[in-house]
Amino acid sequence: MLGNFTYCNPTKLYFGKEALNGLREELKKYGKNVLLVYGGGSIKKNGIYDRVVGILKEAGKEIFEDAGVMPNPTVEKLAEGVQRARAAKADLILAVGGGSVCDYAKAVSVSVNCDEDPWEKYYIRFEEPACPVLPVGCVLTMVGTGSEMNGGSVITNHAQKLKIGHVFGPEVFPKFSILDPEFTFTLPRYQMVAGFYDIMSHILEQYFSGEDDNTSDYLSEGLLRSLIHSTRIAAKDPQNYEARSNIMWTATWALNTLIAMGKTTDWEVHMIGQAVGAHTDATHGMTLAAVSMAYYRLILPFGLPKFKRYALNVWGVDPAGKTDEEIAKEGLSAMESWMKEIGLVMNLSELGVTEDMLDGIVKSTLIMEGGYKVLTPDEVRTVLKESL
């Protein structure tokens, strides 16, 4: 039975080759001071920075910059961003970049007017903001996180060896997001492919849970088939607009909260992957890819009907003469072959993890309860060891 839920997603999207024109309309809704947030400067090389700044100036905005957002934004960077936003008296935070930049912008938005330590309040106690939240808009340059249409915000605390995400409510969602697939074309291949798996993992985290025959799972299967088809094309031809646009759209729907409605969700792969990231600073999507096969093979017996369904409906496994377990395992093998085909990292050693790091990573891993099996610390260690 589909569970009860309330669904709200207030983000307005502008999608396609002329999507940036939507920024002109959105800027009319906000005050003069804009905090422009971006990463390492690639948007200056590919021309996106100049186009965005041109529109901001045309709209008469006062521009304050917060550059240098790293792939895994830190608590130190968050503190810096809060100071910049306060000094600017920002009316709008405009994030131009990938998911990390969007995540960071949301973290700043809930922290500017917060009179407590944001890390403790939001990422340790998982509280909601009790203060005014600055509006955020996004111009997306990398797909994968879905941060452009959700309340997710992941921050890393290296001192505590923790990388934690807080999923805020709709009041923290971006007010608008600009999605032009061509803005993703200059992304390095490694980052592009990592984003592809982040999308896949988001869908699987919501799919591999619950026993019910519900609409959310049918939606997930359609998204998965679309993603597999388009990533195969994009891996060979990164400039293929149709493939990249379909991937961008799939990424948004993978984590804009829709397919989680009415069911439990897992998220243990993300918890393990984020713990790896806290210790190595490795690319998020690759940490997920490196631990996924060991995790799903571990929990397959506890969710066998869904893993069989996955094999049949997503990978087209022929069930003739096979047991349910054989069908399910063949589905995971098909997934593993696709992962290798598009060039994902398949083991943790490639990301710098060594066996003497495993105990620390286990301690940094949050245990979730929504999947088919609640892992023990020893089982987390088993997944990590088998992923080396």
Over residues 275-287, the pLDDT tens digits come to 999 999 999 999 9
Q: Percent of the chain at pLDDT above 90?
A: 96
Of 85, 104, 88, 83, whose CA–CA distance to 38 is shortest? 104
Segments making up each domain of the chain, as ranges: 12-184, 190-387
Identity of residue 37: V
The total of other beta-carbon atoms located within 10 Å of residue 126's CB is: 12
What are the pLDDT digits (tens) for 77-136? 999 999 999 999 999 999 999 999 999 999 999 999 999 999 999 999 999 999 999 999
- The average pLDDT across 199-206 equals 98
pLDDT of residue 315: 98
Structure tokens at 184: 């993703």
How far is Cα 327 from Cα 305, in angstroms, rounded to an integer? 10
Question: What is the DSSP code (8-state) at residue 351?
Answer: G
Note whether 169 and 130 are within 8 A (CB): no
pLDDT of residue 283: 96
pLDDT of residue 210: 85
- The average pLDDT across 359-386 equals 97
pLDDT of residue 213: 78
Averaged confidence pLDDT in the chain? 96
What are the pLDDT digits (tens) for 227-249? 999 999 999 999 999 999 999 99
199, HSE (Cβ side, Cα atoms, 13 Å): 31
H runs (alpha helix) in 48-188: 48-58, 75-88, 99-111, 118
- The average pLDDT across 305-324 equals 98
- The average pLDDT across 309-330 equals 98
pLDDT of residue 278: 95
Q: Above 80 in pLDDT, residue 212?
A: no
Q: Above 80 in pLDDT, residue 211?
A: no
- The average pLDDT across 345-365 equals 97
pLDDT of residue 3: 83
- The average pLDDT across 337-366 equals 97
What are the pLDDT digits (tens) for 1-19? 778 999 999 999 999 999 9
pLDDT of residue 105: 98
pLDDT of residue 214: 87
- The average pLDDT across 327-344 equals 98
Q: Above 90 in pLDDT, residue 41?
A: no
- The CA distances from residue 255 to 36, 39, 138, 172, 234, in Å, are 24, 22, 16, 15, 21
pLDDT of residue 2: 78
H runs (alpha helix) in the chain: 22-27, 42-45, 48-58, 75-88, 99-111, 118, 189-207, 215-236, 241-254, 268-280, 284-299, 304-313, 324-342, 358-364, 377-387
Q: What is the pTM of this model?
A: 0.95
DSSP assignment of 253-315 equals HHTSSGGGTTS----HHHHHHHHHHHHH---HHHHHHHHHHHHHHHHGGGGHHHHHHHHHHTT
| Fold (CATH) for 190-387 | Dehydroquinate synthase-like, alpha domain (1.20.1090)
CATH number for domain 12-184, candidates 3.40.50.300, 3.90.226.10, 3.30.565.60, 3.40.50.1970: 3.40.50.1970
Note whether 146 and 154 are within 8 A (CB): no
What radius of gyration, in Å, describes the C-alpha atoms of the chain?
20
pLDDT of residue 337: 98
